[in-house]
Amino acid sequence: MEGATFLHWMAWTWPTAAFFVFIFLCLVGMSVWEYYAPGGGPRHGILGLDTTRGDRLFISLLGSAFIFLAWLGLMGTPLWGPLVISLAYAFAVFRWV
């Protein structure tokens, strides 16, 4: 098999690749953060949940996915609007949840 056609069935695009690179960089960033500032213990947030850094990352990524899906369903493209909303949402999750 040729290298270019090996993943052809997956329909990879630049935005798809950028998404997975972003997820990978988030995980690397969280690992580095834990290495240099260990013990990010659970925090009791506004939702009444005890969450760790990893929990807050998961909640922000999951919520961002729903924000993007809702935007696509209601507004269509371009996707700059949900990107801004998702970044604000992730900031709020890490700050108050």
Residue pLDDT, tens place only, 21-60: 999 999 999 999 889 988 777 888 887 888 888 889 999 9
Confidence class for position 5, pLDDT limits 50, 70, 90: low
Q: Does residue 41 fall inside a structural domain?
A: no
What's the rounded Cα separation, in Å, for the pair 84 and 91?
11
Q: Does residue 58 fall inside a structural domain?
A: yes
Kindly tell me if the per-residue pLDDT of 84 is higher than 80: yes
Q: Does residue 71 fall inside a structural domain?
A: yes
Q: Does residue 79 fall inside a structural domain?
A: yes
Q: Does residue 16 fall inside a structural domain?
A: no
Q: What is the DSSP letter of 77?
A: S
Query: Which position has the higher pLDDT, 8 or 50?
Result: 50
Q: Does residue 90 fall inside a structural domain?
A: yes
Among 13-22, 26-35, 73-82, which stretch is predicted with the lowest mean pLDDT?
13-22
Q: Does residue 78 fall inside a structural domain?
A: yes
Q: Which domain holds residue 92?
A: 50-97
Residues near 72 by Cβ (< 8 Å), separated by ≥ 6?
79, 82
Number of domains in the chain: 1
Q: Does residue 23 fall inside a structural domain?
A: no
